[in-house]
Amino acid sequence: MSHTSKKYSNLYKDPKSPYWSFRKYSSEKRQEFKRSTGLEDEAKAYKKGLEMFNEWLGSEIDHSRVVLIKDIARAILSSKEVVKRDRTYTTSKNQIEKHILPYFGHLKPCQITSLRWDEYDAHERKKGKRTKLFNTRKALIEILNRAKDENLIKKVPELKLHDQKSRQGKYIEEITVKTLICAASPDTSLLIEILYLMGARPGEVIQYEYSMIHWDEGVHGTISIPGRITKTGRSRKIPLNSRVSALLWFRMHEKGGKYVFPSPSDPNRPIREYKTGWNSACRKVGITRKDNILLYDLRDTWVTNQAKRNIPIGFTAKYADTSPEMIHKIYLRTVDDSMQNVAG
Q: Which fold has domain 174-338?
A: hpI Integrase; Chain A (1.10.443)
pLDDT tens for 25-66 read 555 455 555 555 565 666 666 566 656 655 555 544 455 567
Cα 20 from Cα 40, distance rounded (Å): 25
Mean pLDDT of the 321-326 span? 86
Angle formed at CA 133 by CA 128 and CA 135, multiple of 5 degrees: 145
pLDDT in tens, 147-181: 888 888 888 888 887 765 666 678 899 999 999 99
Which CATH code for domain 18-149?
A: 1.10.150
Whether 333 shows a pLDDT value over 80: the answer reads no
The pLDDT-based confidence of 8 (bands split at 50, 70, 90) is very low
Question: What pLDDT score was predicted for residue 273?
Answer: 83
In the chain, what percentage of residues exceed pLDDT 90? 33
**CA distance linking residue 7 with residue 17, whole number of Å:** 9
Q: Is 152 exposed, middle or buried (0-12, 13-18, 19+ CB in 10 A)?
A: buried
* Stretch 189-208: mean pLDDT: 94
Which of 160, 130, 145 lies closest to 38 in space, CA to CA?
160
Between 124 and 338, whose confidence is greater? 124
Look at residue 265 in the predicted model and tell me its pLDDT: 87
| pLDDT greater than 50 at residue 304 | yes
Mean pLDDT of 318-340: 72
Relative to beta strand 236-239, strand 213-214 is: unpaired
Q: Where are the domains of the chain?
A: 18-149, 174-338
Tell whether the model's pLDDT for residue 279 goes beyond 90: yes
Which residue intervals of 65-185 are DSSP H helices?
Answer: 69-83, 86-95, 101-104, 114-125, 134-149, 174-183
Fold agreement between 18-149 and 174-338:
no
Minimum mean pLDDT among 168-177, 183-192, 244-253: which range? Answer: 168-177
State residue 161's pLDDT score: 78
Average pLDDT, rounded, for the chain: 80
